[in-house]
């Protein structure tokens, strides 16, 4: 792990209560300004991996590190020390997670949705939280929607607000789960352009789970292929898309 590494998984294993293994010995890292795409068949563990990286799911073995600091998520067998709890809280604040279904609060305005993280996660004063929310909405081209209701927005607009909500905490890395899956081609192009701008202008590292190979080609520096919860291969994007390795070809033929 280099000095530029923002987030790293080292031998991560995750097993569900029914005994099914979701992740097994998963290791990879993400450096500053780097965009890593995580791909694989349905059920291979991609979304679970994002939850683990975000500090929302515990692991059964291995560890996740943010800037070299190990992150521990409590479970029935683990009680956190004050130090570990502070480290986990700081980690969650510095990692922005954008859910596939957005999970925006429909009873709140756009601005109120974006203020939640700074206000209650970062414990910022209301006026500071509002400033951070407005700045994040400005970055995604939704500054005029601050007082609008979520239910008034299109799917593409809601996706932008979901990204802004994650950006309001000023995270060092964004984790995005299928960011273009529910969008039409025009909205997809807009989101791709937005994500490219964020990496170029804001030095934001990203991990993107996606089935959209056009998105992967456009934005990812590197591709991690998961197969049955394991990292099958990690390659620069162009090498991955041009590879004749049977497992990669099998995935590409079905994507």
Asked, for residue 121, whether it belongs to a domain, the answer is no
Range 136-154 average pLDDT: 91
Specify whether the backbone of 103 is left (phi greater than 0), alpha (psi in -120 to 50) or beta.
left
Average pLDDT over residues 105-116: 93
Domain count, the chain: 1
- Position 201 pLDDT exceeds 80: no
Task: Report how far residue 175's alpha carbon sits from residue 92's, in angstroms, rounded to the nearest whole number.
Answer: 11
pLDDT grade, residue 120 (50/70/90)? confident
Query: Is 233 within a domain?
Result: yes
Q: Model confidence over 225-244: pLDDT tens digits?
A: 999 999 999 999 999 999 99
Among candidate residues 207, 216, 215, 224, the one with its CA nearest the CA of residue 97 = 207
The pLDDT tens digits for 69-93 are 888 887 766 677 787 788 788 788 8
More confident position, 5 or 86: 5
**DSSP for 184-203?**
-HHHHHHHHHHHHHHHHHH-
Q: Is residue 15 part of a domain?
A: yes
**What's phi and psi for 15, nearest 5 deg?**
-120, 130
Note the pLDDT of residue 202: 66
SS3 content of the chain, % helix, strand, coil (to 5): 40, 25, 30
Q: Check residue 1 and give its pLDDT.
A: 62
In a domain? residue 42: yes
Q: How far apart are CA 25 and CA 9, in angstroms?
A: 9
pLDDT of residue 99: 83
User: Within a domain: residue 153?
Assistant: no
Task: Kindly report the CATH number assigned to the domain that includes residue 17.
Answer: 3.40.50.300
Residues forming a β-bridge with 235: 223
In a domain, 9, yes or no: yes
Contact 38, 12 (CB under 8 A): no
Residue 222 forms part of a structural domain:
yes
Whether 49 and 23 have beta carbons less than 8 Å apart is answered as yes
103: pLDDT confidence band, cut at 50, 70 and 90? confident
- Structural domain that includes position 14: 5-103+174-254
CA-wise closest residue to 49 among 57, 61, 41: 57
pLDDT in tens, 16-68: 888 889 999 999 999 988 999 999 988 899 999 999 999 999 999 999 999 98
> Per the domain annotation, does 115 fall within a domain?
no
Question: pTM surpassing 0.85?
Answer: yes
Q: Which tokens belong to 249?
A: 């070809």
């Amino acid at each position: 792990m280099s000095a530029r590494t923002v987030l790293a998984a080292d031998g991560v294993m995750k097993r569900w209560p029914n005994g099914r293994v979701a992740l097994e010995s998963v290791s990879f890292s993400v450096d500053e300004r780097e965009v890593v795409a995580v791909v694989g068949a349905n059920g291979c563990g991609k979304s679970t991996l994002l939850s683990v990286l975000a500090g929302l799911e515990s692991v059964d073995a291995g560890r996740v590190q943010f800037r070299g600091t190990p992150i521990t998520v409590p479970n029935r067998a683990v009680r956190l020390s004050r130090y570990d709890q502070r480290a986990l809280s700081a980690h969650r604040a510095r990692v922005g997670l954008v859910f596939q279904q957005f999970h925006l609060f429909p009873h709140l305005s756009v601005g109120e949705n974006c203020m939640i993280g700074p206000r209650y996660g970062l414990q910022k004063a209301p006026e500071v939280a509002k400033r951070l929310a407005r700045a994040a909405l400005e970055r995604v081209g939704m500054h005029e929607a601050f007082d609008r209701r979520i239910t008034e927005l299109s799917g593409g607009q809601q996706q932008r607000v979901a990204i802004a909500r994650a950006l309001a905490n000023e995270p060092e890395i964004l984790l995005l789960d299928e960011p273009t899956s529910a969008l039409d081609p025009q909205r997809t192009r807009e989101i791709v352009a937005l994500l490219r701008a964020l990496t170029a202008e804001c030095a934001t590292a990203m991990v993107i789970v996606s089935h959209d190979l056009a998105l992967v080609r456009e934005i990812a520096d590197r591709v991690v292929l998961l197969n049955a919860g394991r990292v099958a291969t990690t390659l620069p994007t162009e090498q991955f898309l041009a590879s004749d390795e049977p497992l990669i070809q099998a995935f590409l033929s079905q994507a």
